[in-house]
Structure 1
Amino acid sequence: MPSAYILANVDVTDPQQYEEYKRLSTIAMKAHGAEVCIRGGAAQVIEGDWTPGRMVLLKFPSTEKARAFYDSPEYQAAKKAREGAAVMRMLLIEGT
């Protein structure tokens, strides 16, 4: 069964409020077995005209597990806490 990844590009507009999202999303990640590959950190564009914000990459054992995380009550609470604090762009990617 292939792994699955959630890749998020986040533009944080209210860093103080975003801390609550980070706290709640961490609870959801732990509850659903997410492996954190990237969470923040410096990013350098090496090709193209992309201007990424904060990057997050999570690994899951399957697409179903990734969707279960995203759809979970724990993550929905995190999303609610994020409202007005950030603009989120998120992809679910099948991988190996």
Structure 2
Amino acid sequence: MAAYCFFDVREVTDPVKLDQYKNGVLATVQQHGGRYLLLGGQCDRVEGTWQPVTPVLIQFPSLEQAYKWYNSEAYKPLKALRLAATSGDAVFMESVPSDFVRDG
């Protein structure tokens, strides 16, 4: 079942480190079967109070693959760069099961 890593980058505190992160992260995502679905862009709040600043959505084949990427030796130094360069939130979530049936 597919899984998604959602990051909301609220603030960039070190643009140089963030550029270093950007230069290396895509290869690590792809090595684990991931692909970017969303990287910034317009984000309109239609309910509630939460307003994402810079949303990032990455899809992986499974939650297990998402965690393998996140905890990999290849991503470890990049994660340190991202955490030093930005503040924000991250959540990992599974998609709807393939046998999910909607009523109606």
Structure 1, gaps ≥5 residues long: none
* Separation (CA, whole Å) in 1 of partners of 2:17 and 2:62: 31
Deviations 1:13-68 (A, max 9, x none): 22332111112221211211112110111211111111212111111111111110
How far residue 72 of structure 1 moved from its aligned partner, in angstroms, is 0.7
* Residue 60 of structure 1 pairs with residue 57 of structure 2: no
* Residue 6 of structure 1 pairs with residue 5 of structure 2: yes
**What amino acid maps onto 2:67 in structure 1?**
R
Q: Which residue pairs with 1:50 in the alignment?
A: 50
- The verdict on how the C-alpha distance between 1:40 and 1:86 changes in structure 2, with shifts beyond 3 A counting, is same
**What amino acid maps onto 1:7 in structure 2?**
F
Structure 2, gaps ≥5 residues long: 97-104
- Quote the RMSD (CA, aligned, Å): 1.4
**What amino acid maps onto 1:15 in structure 2?**
P
Q: Which residue pairs with 2:92 in the alignment?
A: 92
Q: Which residue pairs with 1:41 in the alignment?
A: 41
How far residue 74 of structure 1 moved from its aligned partner, in angstroms, is 1.6
Between structure 1 and structure 2, the one with the greater Rg is 2
- The verdict on how the C-alpha distance between 1:46 and 1:25 changes in structure 2, with shifts beyond 3 A counting, is same
Whether contact under 8 Å (1:24, 1:77) holds in the other structure is: no
How far residue 70 of structure 1 moved from its aligned partner, in angstroms, is 0.5
**What amino acid maps onto 1:88 in structure 2?**
G
Partner SS state of residue 73, structure 1:
coil
Q: TM-score, normalised by structure 2?
A: 0.81
Q: Once superposed, which parts of structure 1, at least 4 consecutive aligned residues long, lie more than 4 Å away?
A: none
* Residue 22 of structure 1 pairs with residue 22 of structure 2: yes
How far residue 92 of structure 1 moved from its aligned partner, in angstroms, is 0.8
